[in-house]
Amino acid sequence: MGAQLGNWLDERLGWRRVWEAIFLRKIPKVNWLYTLGSATLFVALLQIVTGILLTIYYVPTPDHAYDSVQYITTQVPAGWLIRGLHHWGASAMVALTGLHMVRVILYGAYKYPREVTWFTGVFLLLVVTAFGFTGYLLPWDQKAYWATTVGTRIAGVAPVVGEGILRIMRGGEELTAITLARFFGVHVWVLPAALLLLIIVHMYLVIRIGISAVPKSEE
Amino acid sequence: MIEDKPVNRRDFLGIATWAIGGLISLGLAIPAVAYVLGPALQGNKSQNWIRLSSTSKVEIGTPTLFKAKVERKTGWITSEEEIAAFVLTENGRDFIAMSNICTHLGCRVRWLNDRQQFLSPCHNGVFDKQGAVVSGPPPRPLDRYEVKVEDDQLYILGG
């Protein structure tokens, strides 16, 4: 029955070839460090799921942000778990992306023909960092408020353009409701769109070109 | 058939991947469902006795509108809300308290003294003095509050 349905669908969708290309592709003999990319992808999926769940209760305005986060953490069933996963997942994302990058550097996997994979990876690291920075403000507690005050001020000290960048990030002179709303908008719409686009290209290239083997000294 | 065929390494890892993936998905899906449904499954908000007025202020034979402030908690927002009830007594000892919300679509009813009827202005729902439907679209009589009298003070159960 299941096999029949699979055949019926395969005749129309050709999904088996896609499945084989993604999951049954040939790879060189590699080690556990090559799982760091998959681990990052897994945590990214976890962040997407838990992030979507958090938006069900979270409200990005100064008079509701803190209270709605407290409500999630203390009142909603498993809210502590969903928020906790998103909180720790954020740190895991940064750590895993960094480790993945170190592996690629040390094994020289960024070289021809994988330069574009590397470039998309660099932008993915920037996106992950931006996720961390915008997400940090959203709980709207003291730590969030002052970390963002400091973070935007760091951008502000850049010569010539700094003051303008600071104003654009804060949406004005001060850290206000406008800042919170735009950080939220960037965190849940702009960055996820960029992340998905970059992941699609990154994954397409990994599958198309294949992964690099562990370099050997005698070569 | 199955027992003579040893599971090879490839199949074992395939099955293990599905099993672990399934467990992780389940471990996330179950809390996720509880998380989404949580507030929907919580029982009705707690009800408290709310003091409306002293019994001597209720006119005998005429429904009188009393208002009281109640604190209501919805999610993380605590707000003060006004609830209103028409109180009717024929003898000064037995009281009934009726909601002033029309049972049709929730408009506020008002008492017309000359007609001795409640009128809901939205779709002309008409109720009699006891709250029973006289004419118009309301599907049921005006809702009643539980009433108690303590030390000559009138309380209704609501929240």
Distance separating alpha carbons of residues A126 and B112, to the nearest angstrom = 69
Look at residue A97 in the predicted model and tell me its pLDDT: 97
B154 phi/psi in degrees, rounded to 5: -100, 130
Give residue limits of the domains in chain A.
28-136+192-209
Q: What percent of chain A shows pLDDT beyond 70?
A: 100
B60 Cβ contact partners less than 8 Å away, ≥ 6 residues apart: B89, B90, B91, B92
Q: Is residue A219 helix, strand or coil?
A: coil
Interface check for B35 against chain A (CB to CB < 8 A): the answer is yes
Instruction: Flag if B76 and A56 touch (Cβ within 8 Å).
Output: no
**pLDDT tens by residue, B69-87:** 888 888 899 888 888 889 8
pLDDT bin (cut points 50, 70, 90) of residue A49 is very high
Look at residue A174 in the predicted model and tell me its pLDDT: 94
Place of tokens 């028409």: B86
A10-24 burial string, b = 16+ CB within 10 Å, else e? eeeeeeeeeeeeeee
Look at residue A7 in the predicted model and tell me its pLDDT: 95
Interface check for A39 against chain B (CB to CB < 8 A): the answer is no
A206 Cβ contact partners less than 8 Å away, ≥ 6 residues apart: A37, A117
CATH architecture of B48-158: 3-layer Sandwich (2.102)
Q: What is the mean pLDDT of residues B56-60?
A: 82
pLDDT bin (cut points 50, 70, 90) of residue B62 is confident
Q: Does the interface predicted TM-score (ipTM) exceed 0.95?
A: no
Concatenated DSSP letters for A183-203?
A: HHHIIIIIHHHHHHHHHHHHH
pLDDT bin (cut points 50, 70, 90) of residue B25 is very high
Chain B nearest-CA distance from A197, in A, is 24
Distance separating alpha carbons of residues A35 and A25, to the nearest angstrom = 15
pLDDT bin (cut points 50, 70, 90) of residue A34 is very high
Q: Which of B122, B127, B129, B85 is nearest to B107 (CA)?
A: B122
Which residues of B are less than 8 Å from A75 in CB distance? 38-39, 75-76
Look at residue B159 in the predicted model and tell me its pLDDT: 65
Chain A nearest-CA distance from B44, in A, is 15
Q: Under CATH, which number does the domain A28-136+192-209 receive? A: 1.20.810.10
Look at residue A65 in the predicted model and tell me its pLDDT: 97
Q: Any alpha helices (H) in A107-190, and if so which ranges?
A: 115-137, 142-156, 162-170, 177-185
Amino acid at A164: G
Interface check for B43 against chain A (CB to CB < 8 A): the answer is no
Look at residue A54 in the predicted model and tell me its pLDDT: 98
